[in-house]
Chain A
Amino acid sequence: MLQKLLDKLAAGGVHSYADLCRELEVSEGLLEQILTDLERMGYLKRVGADCETHCAGCPMNNACAVGRPGQIWTLTEKMATGRTI
Chain B
Amino acid sequence: MAAAKTITVALAGQPNVGKSTVFNLLTGMDQHVGNWPGKTIEQKTGTFACNGTQCKLVDLPGTYSLSANSPEEVIARNFIITERPDVVVALLDAAILERSLYLVAELLPLPAPVVIALNMMDVAEQEGMHIEPHVLEAALGVPVIPMVATKNQGTRELVQAIDKIVHGQAEYHPQLPEIRADHLEVLAKIEALISSCVPEPYPENWVALKLLEGDSEITEMMRACTPDDVWEQVHDILKAHEDAIIDVAGGRYDWIRRMVRAAVTRPRAGQITRTDRLDRWATHPLWGMLILAGILGVVFWLTYTVGAPLQDLLDVYVVGTAADWASVLLVHAPAWIRGLVVDGIIGGVGTVITFLPILVIFFATLGFLEDIGYMARAAYVMDRFMHLMGLHGKSFLPLFLGFGCNVPAIMGARVVESERARLLTIMVAPLVPCAARMVVVTFLAPIFFGRAAAFVSWGLIGLSLAVLAVLGILINKIAFQGERAAFIMELPLYHVPNWRTIGLLVWQHCLAFLKKAGTLILVMAVIVWALSYWPGGDVETSFLARFGKLLEPVGALMGMNWRMIVALLTSFVAKENSLATLGVLYGASGEKVSLAEAVRIAFTPATALAFLVVQMLFVPCVATVAAMWQETRSLRWTLFSVVLLLVLSFGMGILVYQVVGWLGG
A80 in contact with B483 (CB, 8 Å): yes
Chain A residues closer than 8 Å to B379, beta-carbon distance: 14, 65
The distance from the CB of B543 to the nearest CB of chain A, in whole angstroms, is 33
Contact status B370-A68, CB under 8 Å:
yes
CB distance from A76 to the nearest CB of B (A): 10
Segment with Cβ contacts to A, from B193-201, B309-317, B407-415: B407-415
Contact present for B489 and A60 (CB under 8 Å): no
Contact stretch, chosen from B243-251, B544-552, B585-593: B243-251
> Count of chain A residues with Cβ under 8 Å from any Cβ of B?
57
Contact call A63/B370, Cβ cutoff below 8 A: yes
Q: By the criterion CB–CB under 8 Å, are A15 and B487 in contact?
A: yes
The residue that A17 contacts in the complex, of B99, B373, B491, B508, with Cβ under 8 A, is: B491
Contact B243 A13 (CB under 8 A): no
Collect the chain A residues with CB atoms within 8 Å of residue B375's CB: 65
Return A68 CB to nearest CB of chain B, in Å: 7
A74 contacts B257, CB within 8 Å? no
Whether A70 contacts B257 by the Cβ 8 Å rule is no
- Contact present for B387 and A70 (CB under 8 Å): no
List residues of B whose CB falls within 8 A of some A CB: 64, 67, 69, 96, 98-99, 102, 214, 242-243, 245-247, 249-250, 253-254, 256-257, 261, 276, 279, 283, 363, 366-367, 370, 373, 375-376, 379-380, 383, 387, 392-394, 397-398, 401, 408, 411-412, 414-415, 417-418, 483-492, 505, 508-509, 512-513, 516
Total A-B pairs in contact (CB under 8 Å)? 182
- Of the candidates A14, A30, A54, A68, the one whose C-beta lies within 8 Å of that of B487 is A14
Are A66 and B415 CB-contacts (below 8 A) given A60-B398, A72-B488? yes
A2-B246 contact, Cβ under 8 Å, with A18-B279, A40-B69, A64-B415: yes
| Pick from A8, A61, A70: contact of B491, CB under 8 Å | A70
Inter-subunit contact B256/A54 (CB<8 Å): no
Listed residue (B415, B492, B513) with the most chain A CB atoms within 10 angstroms of its CB? B415
Chain A residues, Cβ within 8 Å of B484: 10-12, 80
Point out the residues of chain A lying under 8 angstroms from B483, CB to CB: 80
Q: Which residues of A contact B (CB under 8 A)?
A: 1-3, 6, 8-18, 20, 24-27, 29-30, 33-35, 37, 40-41, 43-45, 47-48, 54-55, 57-66, 68-75, 80, 83-85
- CB < 8 Å neighbour of A85 from B243, B283, B417: B243
Nearest 8 A/B pairs, CB to CB: A2-B250, A12-B484, A59-B512, A69-B492, A14-B383, A30-B98, A70-B376, A60-B412
What are the residues of chain B within 8 A of A59 when measuring CB–CB? 408, 411, 509, 512-513, 516
Starting from the known contacts A17-B490, A30-B98, 11 additional A-B residue pairs (CB-CB under 8 Å) come to A15-B489, A17-B488, A26-B257, A33-B102, A54-B414, A58-B414, A65-B379, A65-B415, A70-B376, A74-B485, A74-B486
Contact, CB under 8 Å: A29 / B98: yes
Please measure, in the bound complex, the distance between the C-alpha atom of A65 and the C-alpha atom of B397, giving whole angstroms. 8
Give Cα A69 to B512, complex, Å: 23
State A55–B69 Cα separation when bound (angstroms).
29
**Please, which residue of chain A has its CB at the minimum distance from the CB of B414?**
A58
B256 touches A10 (CB 8 A): no
The reply to whether A75 and B485 form a contact with Cβ atoms under 8 Å apart is yes
